[in-house]
């Protein structure tokens, strides 16, 4: 019997995060979050690519055995976009908790969306 393939896609908007989410060393923070979420969901990171934009903004993308995970920041809008697509396990509440703990402040709002991208 073949195990059913799951194709799950989750996104999150982190609005008004802590200011540390935008500091010049924020790359280390995002890589640590990627590694924590991957560990929590039993996902395998193949590679993390990142880029810091001038004068501001940061992007990190993790290539996973199971698909991908990414962060994009817009400091001028006080916004972070998170995206994860996987054929593995998805725990959206655990992801949201990690995002809040690592990026949140008193005024932070996190909006999540989970889509099942099943094929026939």
The percentage of the chain sitting over the pLDDT mark of 90, rounded to a whole number, equals 81
51 is catalytic: no
Cα–Cα distance for residue pair 114/75, rounded to 1 Å: 25
Q: What is the tally of structural domains in the chain?
A: 1
pLDDT digits (tens, 9 = 90+) for 87-119: 888 899 999 999 999 999 889 999 999 988 776
Helix (H, G, I), strand (E, B) or coil at 43: coil
Given 9, 18, 67, 68, the catalytic residue? 67
pLDDT digits (tens, 9 = 90+) for 66-76: 999 999 999 99
Closest CA to 94 of 41, 44, 35: 41
Extended beta strands in the chain, E state: 8-15, 45-52, 58-64, 67-74, 79-86, 109-116
CATH number at residue 53: 3.60.90.10
Residue 2 domain flag:
no
65 is catalytic: no
Residue 1 domain flag:
no
Instruction: Answer yes or no: are the C-beta atoms of 79 and 14 closer than 8 Å.
Output: yes
72 is catalytic: yes
Residue 3 domain flag:
no
């Amino acid at each position: 019997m073949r195990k059913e393939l799951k194709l799950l896609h989750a996104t999150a908007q982190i609005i008004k995060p802590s200011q540390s989410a935008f500091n010049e060393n924020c790359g280390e923070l995002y890589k640590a979050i990627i590694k924590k979420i991957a560990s929590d969901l039993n996902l395998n990171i193949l590679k993390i690519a990142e880029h810091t934009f001038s004068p501001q903004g940061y992007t990190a993308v993790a290539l996973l055995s199971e698909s991908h995970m990414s962060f994009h920041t817009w400091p001028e809008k006080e916004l972070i976009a998170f995206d994860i697509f996987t054929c593995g396990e998805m725990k959206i509440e655990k992801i949201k908790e990690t995002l809040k703990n690592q990026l949140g402040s008193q005024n932070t709002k996190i909006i999540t969306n989970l889509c099942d991208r099943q094929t026939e």
